[in-house]
A and B are shown apart, each in its own frame.
Chain A
Amino acid sequence: MSGDNEETQTAEETSVEETEVQDKVISPEKAEEAKLKARYPNLGNKPGGSDLLRKRLQKGQKYFDSGDYNMAKAKIKNKQLPAAAPEKTEITGDHIPTPQDLPQRKPSLVASKLAG
């Protein structure tokens, strides 16, 4: 592959020497990986795995399922009931829109500026 611009040391290096030359030994890619793991310690080890791909496949999804949608509709209906304790910062439920609330996505009526 094309990442061979850093020299890779052999295993014969003593551990002392290894730590000393650590910066030179680690490829830039692995150094970046270490940086990322330091910032996000909970990051799983499988980056290209299902989670990332499934996020990609679900692009554009607004609701989880029809149950989610109906719950949201019911919540709106029950809004006149006494509200939950104001300390509750959980806002997920209230922000799920219904089709009536969704801004009407009209196509661009303005012509492309490339044609200007």
Chain B
Amino acid sequence: MAGPGGDMQWCFSQVKGAIDDDVAEADIISTVEFNHTGELLATGDKGGRVVIFQQEIENKNQPQFRSEYNVYSTFQSHEPEFDYLKSLEIEEKINKIRWLPQKNAAQFLLSTNDKTIKLWKISERDKRPEGYNLKEDDGRYKDPNSITSLQVPVLIPMDLMVEASPRRVFANAHTYHINSVSVNSDNETYLSADDLRINLWHLEITDRSFNIVDIKPANMEELTEVITAAEFHPHQCNTFVYSSSKGTIRLCDMRASALCDKHSKLFEEPENPSNRSFFSEIISSISDVKFSHNGRYMMTRDYLSVKIWDLNMENRPVETYQVHEYLRSKLCSLYENDCIFDKFECCWNGNDSVVMTGSYNNFFRMFDRGHRRDITLEASRENSKPMQVLKPRKVCTGGKRKKDEISVDSLDFNKKILHTAWHPQDNIIAVATTNNLYIFQDKVN
């Protein structure tokens, strides 16, 4: 993308994961999240495992600095369960990871599967004590009679050990499947949302949670919409939003009442009724909602587009970007192969000037709001030479396909990029294909 500050050129940096095409289900990446400084990058997968990468900066002052993310910690966050009472199989798949802002030497994150949220503490140990009076260095206890003098144990350096331990388990609060967790700016509470309810938790308290939104109808036959995503406002600790399968977003103020069933604002774009089709509601379902860093806007992702909303304007979005409009004439087959239900996420860059989302064929799209430009890039092993500049991709919709273009019918719908993340400050992005994690960075960082 060109701009007055010079071209933004995305280059390949790293790729993590196995090369073979035979993907084990457990290896399917289900969430990607940078922490608040961007130093740590966490991924969750269908097997319930979390892998955390840490950035090691090679000379940030150099014009072409390369930041490498290397494995920092990995642990099994959730395990498969079977609820015999409800006869329900509970997947161990990690739906979301959210980092807490750092308060002390340790790092904390929330990870959740369909039913249970866990608070994990990740801490470093680089010293160990030596010279105990009652124990040998290998752990065997000394014969007390052999001790003739006292020594003060000393801490000696050791190889860095990173330990992950579950500090809190927030269980049994969700009848339906959890789709979102969001940490409040007060750094004391967080919300968890399932298909029909949103609960408010205190990070220290696991045996109680407040229900703040409940859209379950008295008669389930009357069910018309479900909650698809929820997020706290980045600065206003009383404000949160939740999106629905009908394409609406509700903003709620917790100061108004204990139960926020009545929204403070309802964001909905009016639809031309003559355009309505069988697919309209399905493709209007919002799969992700994200506040901008400055807290003035929010972005929603539905099946074909990304919309930016001004929090002060409820009746329509201020910007709409088409992600893959050419799929509108493929909706029938996308319905048959279930792709129409794919839940794509979206993200903002650090200064809210660019937004990014994934598509099919391992393509991902970026929209530069200021310069009104967009670009399509591809995450593939073929473009994975160190610092190789990514070439823009183009999908051919008309008849004549130009060289280097790909036709809609050649797109691989099994290669979907659902999860992407942008470093909070720098132009470094993490893009997850089915089982690989790609890290790209801007050449002129």
Residues of A with Cβ closer than 8 Å to B? Answer: 1-5, 8, 27-33, 35-37, 39, 43, 45, 47-50, 52-54, 56-57, 59-63, 65-66, 69, 99, 102, 105-108, 110-116
The closest CB in chain B to the CB of A27 belongs to B275
Contact A1–B275 (Cβ < 8 Å) = yes
In the complex, whether B152 has a CB less than 8 A from a CB of chain A is: no
CB A60 to nearest CB in B, in angstroms, measures 4
Cα distance, A31 to B333, chains bound together (Å): 12
Cα distance, A33 to B47, chains bound together (Å): 37
Contact A53–B226 (Cβ < 8 Å) = yes
List, in ascending order, chain A residues with CB within 8 A of B141's CB.
none
List, in ascending order, chain A residues with CB within 8 A of B330's CB.
32
The contact of B88 among A33, A35, A60, by CB within 8 Å, is A60
CB A67 to nearest CB in B, in angstroms, measures 11
Contact flags (1/0) for B88-108 with A, using CB distance below 8 Å?
111110000000000000000
Contact B82–A29 (Cβ < 8 Å) = no
Please count how many residues in chain B sit with their CB below 8 Å of the partner chain's CB atoms: 67
**Contact A29 to B17, CB < 8 A, known contacts A60-B88, A112-B27:** no
In the complex, whether B225 has a CB less than 8 A from a CB of chain A is: yes
**Contact A5 to B325, CB < 8 A, known contacts A56-B226, A107-B80:** yes
Contact B82–A48 (Cβ < 8 Å) = no
**Contact A107 to B47, CB < 8 A, known contacts A47-B281, A48-B245, A50-B220:** yes
Contact B47–A63 (Cβ < 8 Å) = no
Cα distance, A49 to B226, chains bound together (Å): 10
Contact B87–A65 (Cβ < 8 Å) = yes
List, in ascending order, chain B residues with CB within 8 A of A30's CB.
277
A-B contact pairs, 17 of them (CB 8 A): A1-B269, A1-B275, A2-B325, A33-B279, A52-B282, A53-B226, A60-B90, A62-B82, A62-B89, A65-B87, A99-B84, A105-B80, A105-B89, A107-B92, A112-B47, A114-B51, A114-B74
Contact A48–B281 (Cβ < 8 Å) = yes
In the complex, whether B442 has a CB less than 8 A from a CB of chain A is: no
**Contact A32 to B279, CB < 8 A, known contacts A112-B49, A116-B18:** yes
List, in ascending order, chain B residues with CB within 8 A of A35's CB.
332
CB A15 to nearest CB in B, in angstroms, measures 18
List, in ascending order, chain A residues with CB within 8 A of B127's CB.
none
**Contact A32 to B332, CB < 8 A, known contacts A1-B269, A111-B74:** yes
CB B379 to nearest CB in A, in angstroms, measures 14
Contact B274–A37 (Cβ < 8 Å) = no
Contact A114–B17 (Cβ < 8 Å) = yes
List, in ascending order, chain B residues with CB within 8 A of A29's CB.
275, 277, 279-280, 328-329, 331
List, in ascending order, chain B residues with CB within 8 A of A54's CB.
220, 223
Cα distance, A62 to B215, chains bound together (Å): 25
In the complex, whether B437 has a CB less than 8 A from a CB of chain A is: yes
Contact flags (1/0) for B41-78 with A, using CB distance below 8 Å?
00101011101000000000000000000010010100
CB B277 to nearest CB in A, in angstroms, measures 4
Complex interface residues of chain B between 215 and 269 (CB less than 8 A to chain A): 220-226, 245-246, 269
Complex interface residues of chain B between 285 and 337 (CB less than 8 A to chain A): 285, 304-305, 320, 322, 325, 328-332, 335-336
The contact of A57 among B48, B51, B226, B335, by CB within 8 Å, is B226
The closest CB in chain B to the CB of A45 belongs to B278
**Contact A59 to B177, CB < 8 A, known contacts A53-B226, A99-B84:** yes
In the complex, whether B435 has a CB less than 8 A from a CB of chain A is: yes
Cα distance, A68 to B191, chains bound together (Å): 36
List, in ascending order, chain B residues with CB within 8 A of A99's CB.
82, 84
Q: Which residue of B17, B281, B332, B435 has the most chain A CB atoms within 10 A of its CB atom? A: B332
List, in ascending order, chain A residues with CB within 8 A of B378's CB.
none
The contact of A112 among B45, B87, B177, B285, by CB within 8 Å, is B45
In the complex, whether B382 has a CB less than 8 A from a CB of chain A is: no
CB B175 to nearest CB in A, in angstroms, measures 9
The contact of A50 among B16, B88, B223, B322, by CB within 8 Å, is B223
Cα distance, A8 to B195, chains bound together (Å): 37
Contact A115–B74 (Cβ < 8 Å) = yes
CB B203 to nearest CB in A, in angstroms, measures 25
Contact B74–A112 (Cβ < 8 Å) = yes
Contact A60–B114 (Cβ < 8 Å) = yes
List, in ascending order, chain A residues with CB within 8 A of B328's CB.
3, 28-29, 32
**Contact A107 to B51, CB < 8 A, known contacts A2-B325, A32-B330, A53-B226:** no
Cα distance, A57 to B226, chains bound together (Å): 9
CB B7 to nearest CB in A, in angstroms, measures 29
In the complex, whether B444 has a CB less than 8 A from a CB of chain A is: no
In the complex, whether B176 has a CB less than 8 A from a CB of chain A is: yes
List, in ascending order, chain B residues with CB within 8 A of A53's CB.
195, 223-226, 245
Cα distance, A83 to B234, chains bound together (Å): 64
In the complex, whether B271 has a CB less than 8 A from a CB of chain A is: yes
